[in-house]
Amino acid sequence: MSETGDFIIKVKDVSKDYGKFRALESMSFTVPKGSIYGLVGRNGAGKTTIMRIISGLQKPTGGTVEYGFDHKKLGKVGALVELPSIYSNQSARENLIFQYINLGLKIDGSVDKILNFVGLGNTGSKKAGKFSLGMRQRLGIAMAMAGNPEVLILDEPINGLDPQGIIQIRDLLIKLNKEKGVTIIISSHILSELSKLATDFAFVESGKVVQEIKAEDLETDGTGSLETEFYTGTPEKLIPVLTAKGLKATFDSKSGIVHAKGYYNLTNVVLAANEAGVNIARVVTKETDLETYFVKLVGGESNA
C-alpha cells in the first residue's frame, strides 16, 4: 500500500457505496508532493467522501489509496473534515497538548511554536468553545499540524468565515505549504479563494474525477491555448504577424479589434509585431477563471 515517490497520495478506482447509493464511482487522481490540491465539485459530488476515505475515517467499497509516505505512523495525515475536532471546554494550549498526547509526542516548546504559527499564541486560558469560527479553524489546523504531517486534508476550511478569517486561513495554508512543505488537499465552495491557493485541481462530478489540471494550465483554457484581443490602428499589418506565429487571427471591423487564438508566447508575439512596425495600443488576454472553467466542464450552474 505504501511506497515513496513524487506523489503524496494516489487514489485508484475508488468506489464507495452507502447501501444502494453509489457516492464514488471509480474515482482516480494523484496528488503531487508539495502541492496544494483543490477538489472542486458540486454538493454531493463526492469530495467529502473521498477526503474521509483518504484520512482513514471510512473504508472504500472498492479501489485503493496509495500513500507516498508511511501513513501508518501516528500524525502523518492531518485532517480537518467539516468542523475542527477540538474540546470546547479546554483552552487552545490544552487542546494541543491533548493532541500531542494522542500522537505520543513530547510536550515541549513546539506546542507554543505551533500556537504562534497559527496566531493563537495569546489566547491564554480562554476556552475553545468561546473562540470565533476562524479561531476554531486555526486551532483545528494547529492540531492537524502537531505531528508534522506529510499531508493536510481540509474539507471546506473557510466555510462560514468572515473576509478577515478567510485571508488568515489562506495565508496560513500558503505559509504551511511553502515553509513546512506540507502537501494540502483542500475543498471549498468559494472557488475564487481556492484559485488563489491551489496549485492543482481535480474536478469532481457524480463521484468521479472528470479532469485533473494544473493551475497554470487553467489560465490557458486548460489546453495551453490563449484567446487575446489586440487593439491596433493597423490590423492589416498585425494579422500576417499573428498568422506567421501559427495563430488563428480575425479582424472585427465593427469593434476594430483583432481576435487571436492559439498556442503562443504573448511576449514573443508583441515583439514580432513591433519589429513589423505594428503599433499595438492595448492587449487583453481572456483568462479562464476557475468558476468559468468549472461551469464549462460540468455544465449548468456553478454550484460547486
Partner 1 sequence: MPKLLYFEFRRIIKSVFFWIVAAYSVVWPILTAVFYRVILTLEFTDTGVTLNKLHLSQGEVKFFTWFIAIAFITELPKFVALFTCLHLGRDYSDGIVRNKIIAGHSRASIYFSYLITQICASTFFCVVYIASAMLGVAIAGIGVDVNGGEMFGRFATGIAVFLVMTVTFSVLAVIFRKRALPIILSILIAMMSNAAATVIGMYNTPSKAYDDYISLRNEKLEAMAEEGFLSDAFVKKVEKDYGKDKLTGIPWKIFHPVYVVSPIGFEVDYGASGFTSLMSGGSEYITTIDYSFSIFYSDESQDLIWQNVNMSKVGELENAGDIIFTPDSLEKVDSMHSDFNKLNGIYIGKSIIWAAVIGGWGYFVFQRKNMF
Site for partner 1 in 52-111 (CB under 8 A): 52, 55-58, 71-79, 81, 83-90, 94, 98-99, 101-104
Query: What mask, x for binding partner 1 by CB under 8 A, covers residues 116 to 155?
Result: ---------------------------xx--x--------
By C-beta, is 89 or 164 nearer to partner 1?
Answer: 89
By C-beta, is 142 or 191 nearer to partner 1?
Answer: 142
Yes or no: say if 54 and 64 are a contact pair by the CB < 8 Å rule. no
Q: How many angstroms separate the CA atoms of 164 and 179, rounded?
A: 22
- Residue entry with cell 490602428: 233
Q: At its nearest, how many Å lie between partner 1 and the CB of residue 59? A: 10
Q: At its nearest, how many Å lie between partner 1 and the CB of residue 17? A: 13
Q: Which residue stretch of 35-43, 49-57, 195-203, 295-303 sits at the interface with partner 1 (rule: CB under 8 A)?
A: 49-57
Q: At what angle do helices 235-244 and 266-275 cross, to 10 degrees?
A: 130
Site for partner 1 in 238-297 (CB under 8 A): none
Q: Measured between alpha carbons, how far is residue 273 from residues 211, 253, 266, 294 in Å?
A: 36, 20, 11, 34
Q: At its nearest, how many Å lie between partner 1 and the CB of residue 249? A: 54
Q: At its nearest, how many Å lie between partner 1 and the CB of residue 203? A: 24
Instruction: Tell me the three cell numbers of residue 100.
Output: 500531542
Q: At its nearest, how many Å lie between partner 1 and the CB of residue 258? A: 55
Residue count, binding to partner 1 (CB under 8 A): 33
> In the chain, what is the straight-line distance between the N-terminal and C-terminal CA atoms, in Å?
32
- The residues near 300 (Cβ < 8 Å, ≥ 6 apart) are none
Secondary structure letter of residue 7 according to DSSP:
E
Q: How many angstroms separate the CA atoms of 207 and 198, rounded?
A: 21
Q: How many angstroms separate the CA atoms of 155 and 28, rounded?
A: 18
By C-beta, is 16 or 42 nearer to partner 1?
Answer: 16
Q: At its nearest, how many Å lie between partner 1 and the CB of residue 159? A: 15
- The residues near 271 (Cβ < 8 Å, ≥ 6 apart) are none
By C-beta, is 101 or 244 nearer to partner 1?
Answer: 101
Q: At its nearest, how many Å lie between partner 1 and the CB of residue 36? A: 19
Q: Is the dihedral of CA 219, 221, 224, 226 positive or negative?
A: negative
Which residues contact partner 1 by CB under 8 A?
52, 55-58, 71-79, 81, 83-90, 94, 98-99, 101-104, 143-144, 147
